[in-house]
A and B are shown apart, each in its own frame.
Chain A
């Protein structure tokens, strides 16, 4: 057992170290992405204060009125009905293949609000999934997930007194001890979550990197696989223009009888300009773990039911439960906050592991040869940039959203550019400064940006804030306050922590 523990120590220490600069970024952006919709909502203040109608039916009718008038030729219309989570009626359509546009509809007046061009929360979600680097990025993220699993299991193997140490945290003693305790506590207390989140994350994108069974049965075609799981009632194009659209109310009521009253959250209208246009109603997904949406489908010209799907194959549901556990569409704000806190716990585990490595080995590497000393110096600085620097860059992204002109061309890409440029700058800063100073300056910098964000928001988008509160939408204010609290936490860490 001792030999195994020693062997696993090297894997845990070195495997953990080398992957953690990237793993922290994946964990942090994933944590933020739990609230990606709220981030997007905050980042488009122009769209925040449209009031939805009293009933979902009226909302659906208002959305359809707008789309029929403004975008009759679009290949598909997408209507997100207001929900507890995001109280906005949102319509969207592909302006060009792959390029979707969206508007918030004020159901009472019929006006459409167009927000400033931004990736919003998708920036964090996309970075989390693929580092904004396409398929190569997906593979790299998969590697971090695999290594997180390997590090977690090896960590348990090497932790001799895992039950005795369960609640041990000694912040005042020897610094190395405190860092080890912090690493252990955040790792062990949340161990089921860490194992679950890493495993389910890998499962989400199996088609990209573990397609063996998919290749056997579906020639590697993930769409063909999905078509087996999700019933499609889409009609082929009739190539004839659509006659009048049938009234939506009977369809809506019929869909509610199938899916549940008050449970319709999303509508799609396929090929609305074609005679074979169809309307799809989707049930919301916030009350089940398996990430599958029941749906009901109707002909658009006469409201006839084409078919519905309210039951799912057990193996499909089982797999989609893994996806659901990762993305957490269920449980509303309570679950989202739990995932946020657990995600932060994961970030603390990885960050404290990185710092522990350098703190523990500082005396050893001070006396080592030039190669090891150089490696160690770089490692220490990578720690600063990948932890504090990333947090600073995340805040800078939010600032770019408020400070870049709303009308600026290409501002969505520019915001992401600010994120990466800031992150690169923090790396250069970390390479130029002594390590403790680099930590302090970047942590205080991030803290300052977070604490000042509510003020910047009030100055640059104060009207929106006031109007959204008046309309009963507390998300923008909640976002400001949460970022402020994060700022307080960062300032406290900067003050108290000896790095």
Chain B
């Protein structure tokens, strides 16, 4: 019962969720946008415009998830995974 537990959790958990949603979500979206910009087989300008058009679709679920997670620590899961994966793909793609 994630919801009931969340309400009884303290300020630290709430703060962590908010940080994961806004800050973690930002980092993950940034990394994801960078990855998208190098992975698509398009001209540079095309890649940037495509990334600009799509990237905020990534941010919204990353804002919602932390509040559905079981606690303030688990809230960071997807943000961390997406940030690391995105950064890796971005780095690999840019190196090519």
Number of interface residues of A (CB under 8 A): 40
- B45 to A213, Cβ gap below 8 A? no
Given the known interface contacts A10-B67, A153-B64, A316-B49, the answer about A212 and B34 at a Cβ–Cβ threshold of 8 Å is yes
- The reply to whether B7 and A322 contact each other, CB–CB distance below 8 Å, is no
Additional 19 contacts, C-beta under 8 A, given A7-B6, A318-B53: A2-B3, A4-B2, A7-B3, A8-B68, A9-B3, A10-B3, A146-B56, A153-B60, A199-B56, A210-B52, A213-B36, A213-B55, A215-B34, A217-B37, A225-B49, A228-B45, A315-B42, A315-B50, A316-B49
Q: A146 to B53, Cβ gap below 8 A?
A: no
For A218, what are the chain B residues with a Cβ–Cβ distance below 8 Å? 44-45, 48
Distance between A192 CB and nearest chain B CB, rounded to angstroms: 15
A240 interfacial contact with B, CB 8 Å: no
Query: What 8 A-B pairs have minimum CB-CB distances, sorted nearest first?
Result: A213-B37, A6-B3, A228-B45, A212-B34, A217-B44, A213-B51, A212-B33, A315-B46
Closest residue on chain B to residue A157 by CB atoms: B64
Residues on A with C-beta less than 8 A from B22 are 143
Q: Which residue of B lies closest to A316 (CB)?
A: B49
Cα-based distance from A147 to B48 in the complex (angstroms): 24
Q: Give chain A interface residues in 131-171, CB to chain B under 8 Å.
A: 143, 146-147, 149-150, 153-154
* Contact between A203 and B64, CB atoms less than 8 A apart: no
A206 contacts chain B at the CB level, 8 A cutoff = yes
In the complex the two chains form, what is the Cα distance from A203 to B49 in whole Å? 10
Determine whether the beta carbon of A210 is less than 8 Å from that of B7.
Answer: no
Question: Which chain B residue has the least Cβ–Cβ distance from A195?
Answer: B60
- Report which B residues bind A (CB closer than 8 A): 1-4, 6-7, 21-22, 29-31, 33-34, 36-38, 42-53, 55-57, 59-60, 63-64, 67-68, 90, 94
Beyond A6-B3, A213-B33, A216-B34, whether A11 also contacts B48 by CB under 8 A is no
Complex formed: what's the CA distance from A315 to B46 in Å?
5
Query: Which of B45, B49, B64 interacts with A11 by CB under 8 Å?
Result: B64
Q: Is the CB of B6 within 8 A of A10?
A: yes
Complex Cα gap A327–B64 (Å): 27
Task: Tell me, in angstroms, the Cα distance from A63 to B96 when the chains sit together.
Answer: 53
Q: Which residues of chain A from 36 to 91 have any CB-CB distance to chain B below 8 Å in the complex? A: none
- A residues lining the B interface (CB < 8 Å): 2-11, 143, 146-147, 149-150, 153-154, 199, 202-203, 206-207, 210, 212-218, 225, 228-229, 313-316, 318-319, 322
Give the complex CA separation of A210 and B29 in angstroms.
8
Selected contact of B59 from candidates A3, A146, A228, A314, CB within 8 Å: A146
Question: Contact: A313 with B30, CB < 8 Å?
Answer: no
Closest Cβ neighbor of A205 among chain B residues: B52
- Measured between alpha carbons, how far is A318 from B50 in the docked complex, in Å? 8
A150 and B64 alpha carbons, distance in the complex (Å): 7
Given A203-B52, A206-B52: A313 in contact with B3 (beta carbons within 8 A): no
Residue of A nearest to B32 (CB): A212
Known: A2-B3, A3-B1, A3-B3. A214 touches B67 (CB 8 A): no
Grouping DSSP codes into helix (H, G, I), strand (E, B) and loop, the B interface class, with mixed when no group exceeds half, is helix
Assess the B44–A228 pair: CB atoms within 8 A: yes
The reply to whether A150 and B94 contact each other, CB–CB distance below 8 Å, is no
Secondary structure at chain A's binding surface: helix, strand, loop or mixed? helix
Q: Which residues of A contact B37 (CB under 8 A)?
A: 212-214, 216-217
| Cα distance A228–B48 in the bound complex, in angstroms | 11
A-B contact pairs, 16 of them (CB 8 A): A2-B3, A4-B3, A7-B68, A8-B67, A10-B3, A146-B60, A150-B64, A213-B34, A214-B37, A214-B52, A216-B94, A228-B44, A229-B49, A313-B45, A313-B46, A319-B53
Instruction: Choose among B48, B53, B56 the residue that contacts A217 (Cβ–Cβ < 8 A).
Output: B48
Q: How far is the CA of A11 from the CA of B68 in the complex (A)?
A: 9
- In the complex where A217-B44, A229-B45, A315-B42 touch, is A212 in contact with B51 (Cβ < 8 A)? yes
Q: Which residues of A contact B36 (CB under 8 A)?
A: 213
Give the residue among B31, B42, B56, B59 with the most A Cβ atoms within 10 A.
B56
Task: Name A143's closest neighbour in chain B (CB-CB).
Answer: B22
- With the chains together, A7 CA to B36 CA distance in Å? 31
Complex contacts, A314 vs chain B, CB 8 Å: 46
Closest residue of A by beta carbon distance from B57 = A199
Query: A210–B55 contact, CB under 8 A?
Result: yes
Cα distance A63–B37 when bound, in Å?
Answer: 45
Question: In the assembled complex, how far is the CB of residue A302 from the closest CB belonging to chain B, in whole angstroms?
Answer: 33
Contact of B45 among A203, A207, A212, A225 (CB under 8 A): A225
